Amino acid sequence: MNPEEPNHFSRQIEQKAERKLTAQRQNQSVWFGLGMFGLVGWSVAIPALIGTSLGVWLDRRYPQNHSWTLSLLVVGLMVGCVIAWQWLGKEDTEIHQKENNGNDE
């Protein structure tokens, strides 16, 4: 038996295991991405709906020359986008930290 054969066999097993783990991580990332897409949508929609509702109430209660509804809808959309941007940035940082920790081991 050649002394290099066990190393070669070990390397093949290690490569196959790494490919399998990579495939599993990519499969999870697809579902994670779809879930995140929904959460981002809600994080933008909720502030927009709150701003619109407050605007409708203000338009009925205190009529002005400008539309509170439209103004607060835009403000709600901007607030929602900022919240989503910050949340995605935090998630991205956590994902990269996990990947770097996995490479260190």
pLDDT tens figures, 49-85 = 999 999 999 999 998 899 999 999 999 999 999 999 9
pLDDT on residue 30: 67
Report domain extents, the chain.
33-104
Q: Kindly state the helix (H) or strand (E) to which residue 60 belongs, with its residue range.
A: helix 4-61
